[in-house]
Chains A and B, each alone.
Chain A
Amino acid sequence: SQKIEQNSEALNIQEGKTATLTCNYTNYSPAYLQWYRQDPGRGPVFLLLIRENEKEKRKERLKVTFDTTLKQSLFHITASQPADSATYLCALSYPGEKLTFGTGTRLTIIP
Chain B
Amino acid sequence: DAGVIQSPRHEVTEMGQEVTLRCKPISGHNSLFWYRQTMMRGLELLIYFNNNVPIDDSGMPEDRFSAKMPNASFSTLKIQPSEPRDSAVYFCASSPRGGTSGVETQYFGPGTRLLVL
- Same assembly: yes
CA of A110 to CA of B107, assembled, Å? 29
Main DSSP-derived SS at the B contact region: loop
Q: Is the CB of A44 within 8 A of B42?
A: no
Q: A45 — nearest CB in chain B belongs to which residue?
A: B108
Of the residues B42, B91, B110, B111, contact of A104 by C-beta under 8 Å: B42
Question: Chain A contact residues (Cβ within 8 angstroms of B): what range?
Answer: 20 to 34
With an 8 A cutoff between CB atoms, is B102 at the interface? yes
A101 and B42 in contact, given A31-B102, A32-B103 (Cβ under 8 angstroms): yes
Provide the main secondary structure of the chain A interface.
loop
CB distance from A54 to the nearest CB of B (A): 12
Residues on A with beta carbons closer than 8 Å to the beta carbon of B102: 31-32, 93-97
**What does the 1/0 interface line of B81-117 toward A look like (CB < 8 Å)?**
0000000000101000001111101111111000000
Known: A42-B111, A93-B100, A96-B102. 14 other contacts (CB 8 A): A32-B102, A32-B103, A34-B105, A41-B110, A43-B93, A44-B108, A49-B105, A89-B43, A94-B102, A95-B102, A98-B48, A98-B99, A99-B45, A101-B42
List residues of B whose CB falls within 8 A of some A CB. Answer: 4, 41-45, 48, 56, 91, 93, 99-103, 105-111
